[in-house]
Amino acid sequence: MSTIRLPEILQKAKAQILEEWVKQQMSGAGARADLIKDGELRKQSEEFLNNFQRSAQSGETENIQLPAWAPTLELIADLTRQRERMGFSPSETALFIFSLKEPLLAQVRAELKKDPEAAIEESMGISALLDKLGLYTTEIYQASREEVIRRQQEELLELSTPVVKMWDGIVALPLIGTLDSARTSVVMESLLQRIVETGSEIAIIDITGVPTVDTLVAQHLLKTVAAARLMGADCIISGIRPQIAQTMVHLAIDLSAVTTKATMAEALKTALARTGHRVVKDVVLKA
Amino acid sequence: MPTLKSEVQPVVTENDIVYVRQNVRKWAVEMKFSLVDQTKMVTAASELARNLLIYGGGGEVRLEQLQEGSRMGLRVMFVDQGPGIPDIEQALKDGFTSGKGMGLGLGGAKRLVTDFDIKSIVGQGTSITTTKWR
Amino acid sequence: MQDRIPILHMSNFLLVTIQVDMHDRLALQLQDDLTSKISATGARGVLIDISSLEMVDSFIGRVLGNISSMSRVLDAKTVVVGMQPAVAITLVELGLSLPGILTALNVAKGMELLSRD
């Protein structure tokens, strides 16, 4: 494969290629006249073709990671992000690059009419190059999606760790949703931090909203209880549902060192009693 | 995997264990590890530096800042030319000790870091590499 | 480096605040000093404040455990107060939960615990 003639062809027939390419885009499979104006499309195409030509002049068309291709890749990244916001699908964006093949290869054929072998060589090289550039757009898509997911995960983590003060000296952590190892350790750290800040001797960990508890999560719970004890605070685990109680016994998780209560209310009652409080109901005296 | 920065410090006296702790803390803070991760690194370094002194007869601690893709790593290596460890697997078990101590040194330190690698040749020495990533 | 941690004597109690990064000899010295001071003063309680300690490894953990057991033999209670969350998490991960030691969140709560009974 070679692309020796590519810079020369681009130099010679750029205007024509651009014309064909834009026409192709407006009528082809990736055409989205509803999303992008013709003028804008032409501007983007021209900009890309200019960068493409400059990068191709380096002669290094095998590896698009080389510095010569950096400006072109940057432009592709910009265009991809822009199109993602405008509502283009990943394949429509990839087609933007792929659709350049036809007009470009037509020029190659015309130019190398007398040497069919060279034409095939050249076509294959250009085709491979455009494939790489087209696939790069999906990489950009992927990366921006991953960024969104990562950000949402972080936000979720922050939202899902509410340590609430129940009474003087008593804090509670109502856990909701599936616990994975990473989330559990973040939650537990913030619980221990709040114990210090509030000077609370008792922490209630309520797992009513936790669908399953596996060995790893149970171990995290036990470690938290142990760490709290080292700091001088006691934990009560409440809201252990029957299925979870069964799993814990099956997994041979020893909770004998931990105070457990069926409900948050029970746990609070115990916590109040331990901190020397009594809850009394008022008797209404009839006159 | 590029190494951005490295430093070697000797461990020959008990005070050096404190210097190792302080240095690991300094590096971990610079690399913006969370407080819990800093504490874990420092504690692991303290255990292993003490081992280096007591069982290995002293040696060197080498700190390295690594970069792999987007993640950063702090690597701490403990190298001695001491008697070596005949049975590594047993030495890693909790409760195992051949000298004074509670026998939590190796196994405990291993739990505090992400990667733990130990090489030992009897009569030639021991080299332990610990790495934590962020 | 410092070679002794000061011990405060207040009515029936001994108070220790550890503020330096302890080297091993210093920890052992504290263990010796505390036991002799308990027997010399007849103190009923020992309070060790470790709130400024950024790390407790197995050696320091063992010394704290020893102090606790030794004071019990001399009929005094020991309470360790103010352990930081990061330190507590690390100790548990290390496999050290110091079962015999009394703990409290801060000095005030520790004193309360010692004054009981």
pLDDT digits (tens, 9 = 90+) for B10-47: 999 999 999 999 999 999 999 999 999 999 999 999 99
Structure tokens that stand for A24 in this block: 């192709």
Interchain CB distance below 8 Å, C57 and B94:
no
**A116 in contact with C, Cβ within 8 Å:** no
What number of CA atoms fall less than 13 Å from residue B45's CA on the CB side?
32
ipTM of the complex: 0.93
- The three-state secondary structure class of C18 is coil
Tell me the residue type at C41: T
Q: Which residues of chain A does C82 touch, with a Cβ-Cβ cutoff of 8 Å?
A: 231-232
Q: What pLDDT is stored for residue C1 in this prediction?
A: 57
Local confidence band at A283 (pLDDT 50, 70, 90 cut-offs): confident
Measure in Å the smallest separation between the Cα of B66 and chain C Cα atoms.
23
Q: At what angle do helices A116-159 and A90-98 cross, to 10 degrees?
A: 160
Among the ranges given (A89-103, A215-229, B101-115, C27-41), the one the predictor scored with the smallest mean pLDDT: B101-115
A181, A231, A234, A258, best to mutate vs chain C, most C CBs in 10 Å: A231
Tell me the residue type at C17: T
Q: What pLDDT is stored for residue A162 in this prediction?
A: 83
Q: What pLDDT is stored for residue C117 in this prediction?
A: 65
Interchain CB distance below 8 Å, C24 and B36:
no
Q: What pLDDT is stored for residue A28 in this prediction?
A: 74
Interchain CB distance below 8 Å, B112 and C93:
yes
What average pLDDT does chain C have? Answer: 92
Tell me the residue type at A106: A
Q: What pLDDT is stored for residue C33 in this prediction?
A: 95
Superfamily of domain A164-274: STAS domain (3.30.750.24)
Angular region, A2: left φ>0, alpha ψ -120 to 50, beta rest: beta
d(CA A92, CA A101): 15
Element (H, E) at A74: helix A70-86
**A204 in contact with C, Cβ within 8 Å:** no
The pLDDT of residue A170 is above 90: yes
**A192 in contact with C, Cβ within 8 Å:** yes
Domain regions of chain A by residue span: 6-156, 164-274
**C8 in contact with A, Cβ within 8 Å:** no
- For residues A16-22, give the mean pLDDT: 90
Measure in Å the smallest separation between the Cα of B99 and chain C Cα atoms.
13
Structure tokens that stand for C25 in this block: 């000899």
- Closest CA relative to residue A128, chosen from A18, A16, A3, A8: A3
Q: Which chains touch B (3 or more CB pairs under 8 A)?
A: C
pLDDT digits (tens, 9 = 90+) for C48-61: 999 999 999 999 99
**A226 in contact with C, Cβ within 8 Å:** yes
Could you tell me which residue, B97 or C29, shows the higher pLDDT?
C29
Q: What pLDDT is stored for residue B95 in this prediction?
A: 61
Question: Can you give the CATH number for the domain in which B65 is found?
Answer: 3.30.565.10
Length of chain B: 134
- Are residues C20 and C2 in contact, defined by beta-carbon separation less than 8 angstroms? yes
Maximum mean pLDDT: which of B66-75, B104-113, C65-74: C65-74
How many CB pairs below 8 A link A and C?
56
pLDDT digits (tens, 9 = 90+) for C65-87: 999 999 999 999 999 999 999 99
- Are residues B77 and B61 in contact, defined by beta-carbon separation less than 8 angstroms? yes
Residue A179, Cβ density class (10 Å: 0-12 exposed, 13-18 middle, ≥19 buried): buried
pLDDT digits (tens, 9 = 90+) for A24-53: 888 876 678 788 888 888 899 999 999 998
Among chain A residues, the shortest Cα distance to C101 is held by A230
* Domains in chain C with CATH codes: 7-115 (3.30.750.24)
**Can you say how many angstroms the Cα of residue B76 is from the centroid of all Cα atoms in its chain?**
5
Measure in Å the smallest separation between the Cα of B3 and chain C Cα atoms.
27
d(CA B111, CA B94): 11
Q: Which chains touch C (3 or more CB pairs under 8 A)?
A: A, B
d(CA A215, CA B95): 23
Q: Which residues of chain C does A276 touch, with a Cβ-Cβ cutoff of 8 Å?
A: none
- Closest CA relative to residue C84, chosen from B38, A43, A262: B38
> Which class is A6-156 in CATH?
mainly alpha
**Long-range residue pairs from A113-120, CB within 8 A, at least 24 positions apart, any chain:** A118/A5
Local confidence band at A188 (pLDDT 50, 70, 90 cut-offs): confident
Q: What pLDDT is stored for residue A111 in this prediction?
A: 86
Q: What pLDDT is stored for residue B102 in this prediction?
A: 47
Q: Which residues of chain C does B21 touch, with a Cβ-Cβ cutoff of 8 Å?
A: 21, 55
Using the CB atoms, write b or e for C10-26: b if 16+ within 10 Å: eeebbbbbbeebbbbeb
Could you tell me which residue, A154 or B32, shows the higher pLDDT?
B32
The pLDDT of residue B92 is above 50: yes
Q: How many domains does chain B have?
A: 1
Measure in Å the smallest separation between the Cα of C56 and chain B Cα atoms.
7
- The three-state secondary structure class of A132 is helix
Element (H, E) at C68: helix C58-73
Backbone angles phi, psi at B101, to 5 degrees: 135, 175
Boundaries of domain holding B49: 3-133
Tell me the residue type at C58: S
Q: Which residues of chain A does C110 touch, with a Cβ-Cβ cutoff of 8 Å?
A: 232
Structure tokens that stand for C101 in this block: 């030691």
The pLDDT of residue A287 is above 70: no
- For residues A186-191, give the mean pLDDT: 88
- Are residues A110 and A58 in contact, defined by beta-carbon separation less than 8 angstroms? no
The pLDDT of residue B104 is above 70: no
- The three-state secondary structure class of B96 is coil
Q: Which residues of chain C does A223 touch, with a Cβ-Cβ cutoff of 8 Å?
A: 89, 92-93
Nearest-by-Cβ selection for A232 from C89, C92, C105:
C105
Among chain A residues, the shortest Cα distance to C99 is held by A230
CA distances from A232 to A178, A193, A241, C50, C103 (A): 29, 13, 28, 12, 4
Q: Which residues of chain B does C69 touch, with a Cβ-Cβ cutoff of 8 Å?
A: none
Could you tell me which residue, B96 or B8, shows the higher pLDDT?
B8
Structure tokens that stand for B34 in this block: 């969370």
